[in-house]
Amino acid sequence: MATASLRDETVDLLSRLIRVDTTNPPGNETAAAELLRDYLEQNGVSCELHARVPERANLVARLPGRGGGPTLLFLSHTDVVLADPAQWTVPPFSGEVRDGEVWGRGALDMKGQVAASAVAIASLAREGFEPSGDLIFAATADEEVGDGFGLSWLCEAHPESVRCDYAINEGGGDRMLVGDQVVYLATAAEKRTAPFTIRVRGRAGHASMPGIADNALVKAAVLIERLAAYRPEPQLGPEVEGFLRAVFGEAPVASHAVERVRPLSGPAADIVSAVLAPTFSPTMISASLKRNVIPHVCDVVVDCRLLPGQHPEHIEPMLRAVLGGDVEYELLWEEPQGGTRSRLDTPLWAAVESFVEEVEPGAKAAPMCTAGFTDSHWLRDAFGTVAYGFFPMSGEMPLDVVNSLVHSADERVPVADLEVGVRWLRHAAHAVLA
C-alpha cells in the first residue's frame, strides 16, 4: 500500500482523535473508543468495548490468527493530561495540521501512536493479511492517572481480551546521535516506583518562642540533606549494557559509564545516569498548618525509583544507614509498582533490529530501561508478555524539543514520525506473525 496514503489516513485520524477531549480526570475515553471502533469496523476489523463505567471504555480490536502462531498486541492509551489553552499557540484540542506537524494535546503522548496503530491494523485487514496468531490493538483508558479503569482492570476483568505473547507500547523509539553512531532506543524494562514517606515527630509550640518546642520540620531538614547527597553504587543492567555495546562495541564498568557517554551525548548520559541505580527525590513536605505554630510532626514524601528486580526490603537497610540514627523517624512505604523487564532474544526484538536497519542503514537498535514506567508492566506481570516500548522517530524534530513538548504547551508531532510509525507497526506484524 502506498506510504503517502497511509500517512494521510493517519494524520486525518489523529486530528479527529485530538478533537475528542479525553483529559484525565475525568477521562471520558468512551468517545475516543467509539470513534476508533467506527473507523476500524469500516475497514473490516472486529472490535469490542470494555468499560468499568460507561464513560471510560477501552477498545480492543482483533485480526484473528490462523492458529499456531504467537499473539501480538499494539498497546496504547487514549487519555491525555490537562492543557491550559492560554499557554498554547493553537487551541489544544484543534488537531490542526501546520508546517508538516499535527498540533494538539496527546499528539505525542500518545494519540499519535493510537492513530498509527489503528491505521496499521486497518490497512493489514484491507490487504487480507492472515496472521499466524492474533493481531490485537488495544486503546485503553486511564493510563495517565491509573485509577483502575484501563489496562490493569482489563487484565483482571477481561484477561482473554488482552492476553498476548508480545506487545508494542510507548516509551521508546528515540533517535539519538551518540558520537558518530545513530541509535534508536527501545525500552525493554522499567524501574519500580516505590514511594515512601519519612515521618519525623517533635513537640509543638508557639513560633515566637522556639526554644520551648522541638521543631519536627527542622529535624526533617537534616534527613532531606542526607538523602539528597547520597549517590548509590551504580550497576549495569542488561539493557544499559546492551546500549553501551551498541555505542562502544563494549560495556565499560558501571562507575565509568556516564563519563564515557557524556562527551558523545548529554541527553544519552542523562538517561544512562537515571537507570544505573535507585533514585530518591524528596518532592513533597507537610508540617504545620499555621505560620505561628511550630510543627510537632513533619512528613516528607520521597519519589523512589528502584532498579528492575529490586524491592523496598532490599533497599531499606541501605536507606536507614544513609539517614543515620541521631534523628528519630518512621519510614512508611506505599505499594510499589512496575520494575519489570523483558528478554531480548525474541522475534520481536529481531523485528526492531531489522526495521532500524531498513529505515536507516548503519543505525543500531539499542535496548534501554526507562526511569519512569508504562502500562507494559501489567502485561508482563499478568501473562509473562514480552513488551517493548518502540515507536520510532524520523529525526525531523530534535529529541530535546520532543521531550520538552510532552505534557507541555504546543504539543505536536511531525507527520514524518507518524509515517515511520505506521511502517514499523506493519513491519512488526509481518515479521512476528507471517
Architecture, CATH, for domain 191-337: 2-Layer Sandwich (3.30)
Q: Residue 372: its pLDDT value, please?
A: 87
**Torsion, CA 173, CA 192, CA 23, CA 418, rounded to 10:** 10
- Confirm if 331 and 227 have CB atoms less than 8 A apart: no
Beta pairing, strands 205-206 & 196-201? unpaired
What are 353-403's pLDDT values in tens digits? 999 999 999 999 999 999 988 999 999 999 999 999 999 999 999 999 999
The structure's pTM equals 0.94
Could you tell me the CA-to-CA distances from 307 to 103, 136, 218, 377, 388 in Å, in that order?
A: 35, 30, 31, 14, 17
Give the bridge partners for 388, in sequence order. Answer: 168
Q: Which of 70, 296, 100, 240 is nearest to 167 (CA)?
A: 70
The pLDDT of 138-153, averaged and rounded, is: 97
What count of other Cβ atoms lies within 10 Å of the Cβ of residue 154? 25
What are 222-266's pLDDT values in tens digits? 999 999 999 999 999 999 999 999 999 999 999 999 999 999 999
CA distance 389 to 27: 23
CA distance 191 to 35: 34
Q: Which CATH class is domain 3-171+374-433?
A: alpha beta
Q: Residue 242: its pLDDT value, please?
A: 97
Position 4 confidence tier, pLDDT thresholds 50, 70, 90: confident
What are 23-49's pLDDT values in tens digits? 999 999 999 999 999 999 999 999 999
Position 172 confidence tier, pLDDT thresholds 50, 70, 90: very high
Q: Residue 373: its pLDDT value, please?
A: 81
What are 313-356's pLDDT values in tens digits? 999 999 999 999 999 999 999 999 999 999 999 999 999 999 99
Q: Residue 3: its pLDDT value, please?
A: 75
Question: Is the pLDDT reported for residue 173 higher than 90?
Answer: yes
State the distance between the two ends of the chain, measured CA to CA, in whole angstroms. 17
Q: Cell numbers 508531532 label which residue?
A: 413
What are 49-105's pLDDT values in tens digits? 999 999 999 999 999 999 999 999 999 999 999 999 999 999 999 999 999 999 999
Question: Is the pLDDT reported for residue 2 higher than 70?
Answer: no
What are the sequence ranges of the domains in the chain?
A: 3-171+374-433, 191-337
Question: Is the pLDDT reported for residue 410 higher than 60?
Answer: yes
| Amino acid identity for residue 112 in this structure | G
Question: Is the pLDDT reported for residue 1 higher than 60?
Answer: no
Phi (first) and psi of residue 89, to 5 degrees: -75, -35
The pLDDT of 417-422, averaged and rounded, is: 98
- pLDDT exceeding 90 applies to what percent of the chain? 98
Q: Residue 39: its pLDDT value, please?
A: 98
Domains 3-171+374-433 and 191-337 share a fold: no
